[in-house]
Structure 1
Amino acid sequence: MRKKIIIGLAITLAVALAAAFFLSRREDRTEITQTATLGRATVRKVLDATGIIKPEVGAIVKTGTRFTGIIRTMHVKVGDKVKAGQIIAEIDDREQRAQQEQAQATLRKAEAERAKVESSYPLQIREAEAQVAAAQADYDYAALNLKRRRTLVDQDLDARNTLDEATQQAGTTANTLAARKATLDRLQRESSLAIRSAREAVNEATSALEATNVRLSYSVIRAPLDGVVSEVTAQGGETVVAGFQVANLITVLDPTRLEMWIYVDETDVGQVTPGMAVEFRVDSLPGRTFSGTVNQIYPQPEIRENIVYYRALVRLTPQTSTDLRPEMTTQCRIVVQQKDNVLAVPNEALKWVSGEQVVFVQDGAGIRKVRPRIGLAGAEASEVLEGLAEGDMVGTRVVLPPSRSGSRPEQPAAGPPAGRPAR
């Protein structure tokens, strides 16, 4: 029994010594635990930023009324879809209806008066013109008779009193003619003024009726645009009072007209220009990636927590807008630069060793360390200009000996400095 215990202890000691020797040999060499094959791909330099979905100017309209009264009927509720011009609420309009009928009666009266004036004055003028013509004929006859009587009296062929009678008759007819002409002139002037006044009265009554109709139209509230009712602040039976400000009742949102505001750090805004592609996600749809284009960059900065940002505006298509909601927070990536079909190495394969950026390549001869020349550094991969070839097997997970890794563990070389957004 004692002999078996000694043999077991000897075997255990031998195994421990072998394991220690193996581990000591392993610690002196580099080991690759995960690899990737080098190939051609698209490399993109991006800026990460935070965005907010906002409605475009005019995409959200607060609809109210300038009408004071009791809401007779509220036809919509929050979430209902409406069309432009659709009746969404009605207010009690009995008082305005009475005013409308009064205005219509006033207009009818004014139109009747205008018709009377336009028909009566022409008749009076024609009558006065006839009287002037008759007076003119009487005057012409009296003047001719006076001339004839004067000739006869001068030749002692007629009595003197006949001349006096002819002279008196001529004077009388002249005065009658002058009076008739004055009456005609007065009627013509009065006709012009009366007709003008009657027409202006009709215009005034028409304007008053139109104003009443406009005020009456305020009792019917219509949707200002196609969209969705996002807010209702009053219900049927409530009284609305229109004062200096319009009483807001219903808010309508056009869900197809949204945009995105991206807040770009002041250190990165110089890299962003209109036309750059943008990719973004929202928490409510984690499996989807949306796209857009930078439309403009606002010159006015916004300071948040002592950090200066500039707002980049991204226009969204109607199809994209319908899947989003205002005030959603987005995680954005602005594509600053992109190269297609270039030799790309995964950023996980770029390691910092002794202050150098290197890649470990595994081939038939073992593991070799390569210091490649990197071009465009992307978010997931970087462009390789020299040092590596297509098809190389590079290590993405590498275990380095302490003597080689030093105080710096393996890490991707393309990562951003601490505190800065990922590129």
Structure 2
Amino acid sequence: MKSFPLLSDRRVLIALAVVVCLAVAGGAWALLRSGSERSIPASEYTELSPKEVVAKVPVTATLESRHQVALTTHLSGAVKTVHVRVGDRVQEGQVLAEIDISGVQKEIDTQLAQQMTTDAANLSAVESARLQHQQLQESVDQGLHPQITAAEATLRQAESQYGEAEQVFVDKRGNLEQGADADVHAQAAAVDTARRNVFTAAVEAARAGMATVNAALGPEADTITPVLAEVESDQRYAGAQRNLTTAQENYEITLRRINQDLATQQRAVAQAFAAKTEAAVALEATRLGVQQQLASNATAVEQARRGLAAAQSAAGQSVSRLQVDVNAREARAPMSGVVTAVGAKEGTAAAGPLATIADPGRLVLKANVKELEAGRVSVGDEVSFTTPATGTREFRGRVLTVSPVAAAAPAETAGQTPRPEFPVEIEVTGDLNDLRIGGSAKAQIITEKEQKALAVPREALIDDNGKHSVLVLRPAGGKHEVTKVPVTIGILTDFEATVTGVKAGELVLKQAANHRDSVGQQVRVG
């Protein structure tokens, strides 16, 4: 017995039944759409009611400290000891690491030894110069300086010879000038006056010449004033010398008329006077020369002292610089905070940052915002965020900066054309407990917020070349009519938009695209 024909008949009956059902359903749907009894379920519309609408830009961020300091050292010695690890909390001034300064200490010892040797030599030079000055001063004060003593002796001899010649002349003149007229006495007085003037001018000229020399040798040379004084003194001496020559010639002429021997003796007096003047000038020059030597010796003493002080200062500065290195052997925390990195390794040279300290009380989120969303983010925008370590606990912040320059593309995207992203920095405000530096965070940047707004799903919007509208189910004779109502968009999020032009309580179709052909039709809602 075969069953295949029976199976075939059943398949035909089932197929016919399906076709009939579809036809009936299609007819019913057509009748529902064309008729006035069309019904729209509650799931396809929303009743407008005021609520808070917030526009957010989601970002993935990294928690960092807003203030952190990398501790470095200028020392090049090896790291002797490291006292901290990443994550340790430290206080300002706490020793984080120690540097080996044995080489610096050896250099200090060497320089101190050299300084002692140099100081001994400089002190010897000072003492030698001081002794020379003292000996010269004592010889002058006691009248034992050989050059001055010899000059004084020469002057005394010249004065003695001048006095003897003058006395011989006076004796002869006393015997022969009996009854001489007044002109002779006047000429004699003129000669005496001229000789005194010449003597005084000669000594002053010698002093002026030495003053010019001393001024030229001084530390602050004034070559004009001494030279002018010397010129004036020379001119006075030359004038006095001319007056003396004239007076002596007139006097000798008169004396020759009286007695030739008397005139000859007067010439001897004149020669003795010239010798006396020269001796006086030589004595003055010797005294001034010795005074110059004393000044030179005093200057030498002062220079030796200055040399000693300069050498001591230079050596002291060099040792002080090395002492700074000794004091820097302990690398101390520049502020209180948390150690976020330790670069120092015991036994290796202290190169680069020894450690990095971050302030856990001033945290920021750093993130990149996509180009399309960067224009929506502004400084001061509120931020909420969560971290994996704190679960659903929500923290707060505000936008500090929005960079106008795109972030550099990651190395792994080389050769591609990545979409630009712009760095954003967010200050964490309020509670900081349990937040960890270096951790990640999911943040929501609140770009717009509106209280008591009327919002519709984005799919409820109809866009007619930039003009927007929604489909509203408005009551009409016990039913509702599908009405197209123009609206103005406010806040636009990924899921909804705030609108004006409609009222609270009105019913708006959620999927406008499915009902655009129903505008003007009456329907039942429920």
Q: Is the 8 A contact 1:65 1:249 kept in 2?
A: no
Partner of residue 241, structure 1: 349
* Counterpart for residue 147 of structure 1: 159
Aligned counterpart for 1:358 among listed residues 424, 449, 471: 471
Q: Tell me the CA shift for residue 132 of structure 1.
A: 3.9
**Other-structure match for 1:265:** 370
Partner residue, 1:383: 498
Q: Distance in 2 between matches of 1:195 and 1:187?
A: 12
Tell me which residue corresponds to 2:418.
307
Asked if 2 retains the 8 angstrom alpha-carbon contact of 1:82 and 1:227, the reply is yes
Q: 1:323 and 1:59, CA in 2 relative to 1: closer, same or farther beyond 3 A? A: farther
Structure with the bigger percentage of helix? 2
Cα distance in 1, alignment partners of residues 362 and 112 from structure 2: 43
Task: Say whether the 8 Å CA contact 1:241–1:247 is kept in structure 2.
Answer: no
- Alignment counterpart, residue 230 of structure 1, candidates 340, 354, 371: 340
Q: Is the 8 A contact 1:30 1:367 kept in 2?
A: no
CA contact (8 A) 2:69 2:334 kept: no
Deviates more, 1:283-292 or 1:136-145: 136-145
Q: Which residue of 1 aligns with 2:192?
A: none
Q: Distance in 2 between matches of 1:397 and 1:300?
A: 38
Deviates more, 1:226-235 or 1:320-329: 320-329
Q: Equivalents in 1 of 2:489, 2:322: separation in Å?
A: 74
1:96: which partner in 2? 104
Per residue, is there more strand in 1 or in 2?
1
In the other structure, the counterpart of 2:358 is 253
- Is 2:76 aligned against 1:67? yes
Native 8 Å contact 1:88 1:223 kept in 2: yes
The residue aligned with 1:197 is 307
Counterpart check, 1:298 vs 2:404:
yes
Displacement of 1:241: 2.5
Correspondent of 1:29 among 29, 39, 46: 39
Matches of 1:351 and 1:92 in 2, distance apart?
74
Cα distance change of structure 1 residues 366 and 82 upon mapping to structure 2, 3 Å threshold: farther
CA distance in 2, matches of 1:306, 1:98: 60
Cα distance change, pair 46–232 in 1 and its aligned pair in 2 (3 A)? closer
RMSD: 4.9
Supply the distance in 1 between the matched residues of 2:126 and 2:496 (Cα, whole angstroms).
91
1:177-208 superposed Cα distances (whole Å, 9 cap, x missing partner): 46634542431332233122212211111122
> SS of 2:87's equivalent?
coil
Establish whether residue 316 from structure 1 lines up as the match of residue 431 from structure 2. Answer: no
Tell me the distance in 2 between the aligned counterparts of 1:36 and 1:118: 107
Cα displacement (A) at 1:59:
1.5
Instruction: Quote how far apart the aligned CAs of 1:220 are.
Output: 1.4
Offset of 1:209 from its aligned partner? 0.8
Against the structure 1 CA distance between its residues 349 and 266, is the aligned structure 2 distance closer, same or farther, given a 3 Å change threshold?
Answer: closer
Is the 1:32–1:397 contact (alpha carbons within 8 Å) kept by the matching residues of 2? no
The residue type equivalent to 2:334 in the other structure is P
Aligned partner of residue 84 in structure 2, secondary structure: coil
Whole-Å separation in 2 of the counterparts to 1:80 and 1:363: 74
Indicate how the Cα distance of structure 1 residues 322 and 289 shifts in structure 2: closer, same or farther if over 3 A, else same: closer
Alignment partner of 1:215 is 2:325: yes
Measure the CA separation in 2 of the matches of 1:103 and 1:318.
56
Q: Give the counterpart letter for 1:59 in structure 2.
A: Q
Percent identity (aligned)? 18
Give the Cα separation in 1 of the matches to 2:401 and 2:297. 73
Given that 1:67 and 1:240 are in contact with CA atoms closer than 8 Å, whether structure 2 keeps it comes out as no
The answer to whether the 8 Å contact 1:65/1:248 transfers is: no
Residues 168/129 of structure 1: CA separation in 2 closer, same or farther (3 Å cut): same
Distance change >3 Å, CA 186–CA 336, structure 1 → 2? same
**CA contact 1:374–1:384 (8 Å) conserved in 2:** yes
Of 457, 460, 464 in structure 2, the residue corresponding to residue 347 of structure 1 is 457
Tell me the alpha carbon deviations over residues 20-73 of structure 1, each in whole angstroms, 9 at most, x when there is no partner: 99xx799952111498764434434443444444444x61415456232361x3
Q: Secondary structure at the match of 1:76?
A: coil
Quote how far apart the aligned CAs of 1:315 are. 4.2
Per-residue displacement from partner, 1:148-203 (whole Å, max 9, x unpaired)?
A: 44122342399x9xx8x999997996786466345424313322331222122111
1:124/1:43 CA distance change after superposition, 3 Å:
farther
Q: 1:52 to 1:364 in 2, by over 3 A?
A: farther
CA distance in 2, matches of 1:396, 1:320: 40
List alignment gaps of at least 5 residues for structure 2.
Answer: 1-20, 172-267, 519-526
Q: Whole-Å Cα distance in 1 between the matches of residues 155 and 477 of structure 2?
A: 146
SS in 2 for 1:382: strand
Q: Secondary structure at the match of 1:316?
A: strand
Code of the aligned partner of 1:239 = G
- Look up the equivalent residue of 2:42 and give its one-letter code: I
- The AA in structure 1 aligned to 2:364 is E
Name the SS of the counterpart of 1:291 in structure 2.
strand
